[in-house]
Amino acid sequence: MNILSARGLTKNFNGLSAVDNVCLDVPHGQVRALIGPNGAGKTTLVGMLSGRVTPSSGSITFDGREVTSWPSHKRIAAGVGYTFQITSIFPNLSVWENVALAARRKLTAAKAVEQAVRSALDEVGLGSRQAESAGDLSYGHQRLLEIAMGLAQAPKLLILDEPTQGLAGGEVADFLNLIAKLRGGTTVFLIEHNMDVVMQVADFVTVLDSGRVIFEGTPKEVKASETVQVAYLGGGDAAA
């Protein structure tokens, strides 16, 4: 059964299609990667899936319900978590309070919030740094903190927009370990430019170019595709 489906998803800006008639099916528990050259429409597509961008046409189904018109906060309550391409933490608050603020978007009982925060911080490896100011963390650990903020809402689907951007080698390894922990229990949908990461974590890959899906398959199939080589992997964007 699919947790997320899109049919004919389109977004026009001033008469130009940023996303053009995209159809997707993401099964429960899958790690799905979305790749493509810069300007392919990836962030716009993810914005529509998370409720931050209103589609021009098409439909989105999440967990068996049609959610196309739902705003982002309603989708969060239903089980959609996401992180932004640019880190959006509260630097003057503690690591703990950052995650607690996110947890309170879905939970009200103090004990439930505490449990959710503790679990999320442990999952991303920041449990020992909960009292520190979020602004004192390295950029990579701030990215992991933002993922913890998403996890604290117990998402059925976690959408990550370029989660390894700016991470050092060891921090990328921390991210790979996190995805390994989540695999099967939480569906993960991520935009990712680092093809080494895609090859290691993705069960299935969707390739977007000029707003259209040009290929879907396993990482091995994507790597071997001549269509993908021409549009993406053969250019300079794959390592960007």
Model pLDDT for residues 11-25, shown as the tens digit of each residue: 999 989 999 999 999
Model pLDDT for residues 128-144, shown as the tens digit of each residue: 999 999 999 988 889 88
Dihedral sign computed on CA atoms, order 127, 73, 51, 185: positive
The reported pLDDT for the residue numbered 234 is 60
9, β-bridge pairs: 22
Show the CA angle centred on residue 202, arms to residues 198 and 207, nearest 5°. 70
Model pLDDT for residues 180-207, shown as the tens digit of each residue: 988 888 999 999 989 999 999 999 999 9
Model pLDDT for residues 59-118, shown as the tens digit of each residue: 999 999 999 999 999 998 899 998 865 567 999 999 999 999 999 988 889 999 999 999
Give yes or no for a contact between 83 and 147, defined as CB atoms under 8 angstroms apart. yes
pLDDT above 50 for 236: no
Between helix 139-151 and helix 169-182 the angle, nearest 10°, is: 10
pTM assigned to the model: 0.88
Backbone angles phi, psi at 203, to 5 degrees: -85, -30
Query: Domains along the chain?
Result: 1-79+157-240 (3.40.50.300), 86-154 (no CATH)
Give yes or no for a contact between 144 and 126, defined as CB atoms under 8 angstroms apart. yes
Model confidence at 122, pLDDT cuts 50, 70, 90, reads very high
